[in-house]
């Protein structure tokens, strides 16, 4: 919650305006109940009514005054409802957009070892489902909290002004309602945290299966994957059922508290009005305001439900954002004027975990301009050498030099820009062939593109496509053959 409030500080002006609009709207929303009491007072007392004391002598002028005030109040209530809805919903959309972009940008910059320990489905769930959950709460939840708070304060003040005894009876259920709310909140918090984790696992299965649909079809594994997905969905369903069982019990309990306050106000107020110790107009105000005072508390179950869901989502979002990027530029990172140097691995040791080293004191020199091949068993570290050279991982000990420069002293973007790489996996983005070929290159020259097409032997089949280089290849290059994807990548 603290992290969310800190994040919302960037929109403090908009949050303040939205909060003010919500508060003013609630004031005007309560006013008609007070006007009902004024109208009853007019009917009972006529020329001795409260409105008459304001200088309106005739009954007609008093009725006209009440009608005019009612119209103005309803108009203002509608205006401020429009204003707070615009502000809260606009804020929710801004936060959703900004947080999604910020979270994605941070995720893509996190170290490769973090990504290799995460599932794509879980990251997708954070970027989509969790941020959407927060947006839904900001849309309406914060406004509800403000309106319940303002309503409690203003109506409580009116009650104490009219009758301290009845005010005490009406307010008595409120602390009990809040204590019950805190009890249910503590019960629901771990449930919704577990639900968000189950969403991530379920999303992982869906994404993984859709990415491997060709394999599933080839092995006719439909039933296996259906059962696998069904098991994860069942876990998610059961967690939701457990949370629903708790949250559903909250509303009936709150309703009983509301009923107790309403009955107390109505019965004792009736007795006082009949005895003449409470004016009929004041009694009318109390009866109508009691329901307006207590009834919003029945929405606490839904409010707490939405709050806990959004806080569980916030926890996942900010846990990702709090994860530190380890491989970063040094304060004085450099960009050498030339990279025409030898590459040297000097006493370099590396392991993907602390228990087992893949390399131990590796020494290797690659002369400038030479072409070499690394051979070895599967898992011997051939691909890892390339990852270390790109600073996708850092050596545990030793160093990697280009000329006399340690790669840890080079600006990361500069280093990776100078290293060409063809991945073992043929991955293409859902973009045009041209955009995939020039990916990561600023202001590519057409002659370089033509030369690349000739060298990779892509030109012939690309020219046969209706849109040529502007052909959209689809997700992961699905409209192309395996060989075509390899050549373009």
How confident is the model over 221-245, as pLDDT tens digits?
A: 888 888 888 998 999 899 889 888 8
What's the start-to-end Cα distance of the chain, in Å? 44
pLDDT in tens, 324-347: 999 899 888 888 888 778 899 999
- pLDDT grade for 267, boundaries at 50, 70 and 90: confident
Which H or E element spans position 347?
strand 343-350
Copy the structure tokens of residue 174.
């409120």
- Structure confidence at residue 215 as a pLDDT band (50, 70, 90): confident
- Which residues touch 414 (CB under 8 Å, ≥6 apart)? 335
What percent of the chain clears pLDDT 90, i.e. is strictly above it?
Answer: 17
Is the per-residue pLDDT at 372 higher than 70?
A: yes
Domains of the chain, start order: 2-322 (1.20.1560.10), 343-418 (3.40.50.300), 433-488 (no CATH)
Rounded mean pLDDT of the chain?
A: 83
20 pLDDT higher than 90: yes
Q: Tell me how far CA of residue 40 lies from CA of 46, 63, 270, in angstroms.
A: 9, 11, 15
Beta bridge partners of 344: 365, 401
Task: Return the pLDDT at 91.
Answer: 93
Pairing of strands 405-406, 359-366: unpaired
CB atoms within 10 A of CB 455: 10
User: How confident is the model over 272-285, as pLDDT tens digits?
Assistant: 888 878 887 777 87
- Using alpha carbons only, what angle is made at residue 235 by residues 230 and 238, rounded to the nearest 5 degrees? 115
Total residues belonging to the chain = 489
CB count within 10 Å of CB 148 equals 17
460: tokens are 């012939």
Cα–Cα distances (Å) from 116 to 77, 329, 387, 393, 421, in that order, read 54, 22, 13, 12, 19
The residues that bridge with 356 in the sheet, in sequence order, are 353
Look-up of token digits 């087992």? 356
Could you report the per-residue pLDDT of 67-109, keeping only the tens digit for each? 898 899 999 999 999 999 999 999 999 999 999 999 999 998 9
CB atoms within 10 A of CB 241: 9
Q: Please tell me the least confidently modeled range out of 32-41, 396-405, 424-433.
A: 424-433
Confidence of residue 358 (pLDDT cuts 50, 70, 90): confident
CA atoms within 13 A on the CB side of 219: 9
Q: Give pTM, 2 decimals.
A: 0.77
Sign of the dihedral through C-alpha 162, 165, 170, 174: positive
DSSP class of residue 324 equals P
- According to the model, what pLDDT value does residue 117 have? 83
The pLDDT score that the predictor gives to residue 424 is 67
- Residue 429 phi/psi, 5-degree rounding, is -85, 160
Contacts of 458 (CB under 8 A, 6+ apart): 433, 452, 484, 487, 488
């Amino acid at each position: 919650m603290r992290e969310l409030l800190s994040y919302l500080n960037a929109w403090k002006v908009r949050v303040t305006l939205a909060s003010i609009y919500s508060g003013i709207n609630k004031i005007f929303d309560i006013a008609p109940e007070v006007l009902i009491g004024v109208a009853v007072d007019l009917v009972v007392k006529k020329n001795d009514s409260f409105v008459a004391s304001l200088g309106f002598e005739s009954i007609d002028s008093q009725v006209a005054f009440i009608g005019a005030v009612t119209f103005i109040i309803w108009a203002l209530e509608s205006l401020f409802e429009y204003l707070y809805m615009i502000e809260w919903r606009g804020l929710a959309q801004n936060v959703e957009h900004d947080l999604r972009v910020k979270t994605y940008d941070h995720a893509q910059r996190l170290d490769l070892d973090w990504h290799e320990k995460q599932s794509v489905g879980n990251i997708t769930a954070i970027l989509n489902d969790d941020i959407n959950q927060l947006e839904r709460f900001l849309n309406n939840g914060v406004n509800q909290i403000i309106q319940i708070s303002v309503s409690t304060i203003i109506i409580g003040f009116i009650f104490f002004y009219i009758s301290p005894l009845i005010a005490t009876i009406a307010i008595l259920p409120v602390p009990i309602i809040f204590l019950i709310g805190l009890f249910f909140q503590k019960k629901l918090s771990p449930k919704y945290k577990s639900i968000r984790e189950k969403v991530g696992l379920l999303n992982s299965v869906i994404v993984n299966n859709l990415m491997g649909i060709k394999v599933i079809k080839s092995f006719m594994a439909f039933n296996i994957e259906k059962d696998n997905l069904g098991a994860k969905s069942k876990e998610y369903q059961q967690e939701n059922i457990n949370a629903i069982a708790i949250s559903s019990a909250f509303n009936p309990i709150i309703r009983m508290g509301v009923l107790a306050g309403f009955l107390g106000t109505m019965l004792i107020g009736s007795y006082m009005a009949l005895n003449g110790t409470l004016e009929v107009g004041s009694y009318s105000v109390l009866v109508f305001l009691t329901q307006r005072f207590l009834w919003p508390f029945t929405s606490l179950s839904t409010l707490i439900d939405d709050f806990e869901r959004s806080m569980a989502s916030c926890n996942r979002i900010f846990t990702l954002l709090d994860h530190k990027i380890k491989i970063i530029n040094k304060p004085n990172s450099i960009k050498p004027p030339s990279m025409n140097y030898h590459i040297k691995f000097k006493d370099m040791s590396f392991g993907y975990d602390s228990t087992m080293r893949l390399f131990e004191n590796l020494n290797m020199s690659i002369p400038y301009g030479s072409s070499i091949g690394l051979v070895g068993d599967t898992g011997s570290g051939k691909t890892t050498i390339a990852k270390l050279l790109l600073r996708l991982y850092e050596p545990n000990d030793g160093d990697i030099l280009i000329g006399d420069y340690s790669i840890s002293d080079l600006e990361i973007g500069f280093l990776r820009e100078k290293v060409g790489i063809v991945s073992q996996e043929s991955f293409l983005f859902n973009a045009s062939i041209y955009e995939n070929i020039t990916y990561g290159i600023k202001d590519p020259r057409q002659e370089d593109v033509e030369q690349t097409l000739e060298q990779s032997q892509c030109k012939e089949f690309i020219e046969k496509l209706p849109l040529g280089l502007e052909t959209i290849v689809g997700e992961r290059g699905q409209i192309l053959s395996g060989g075509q994807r390899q050549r373009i990548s």
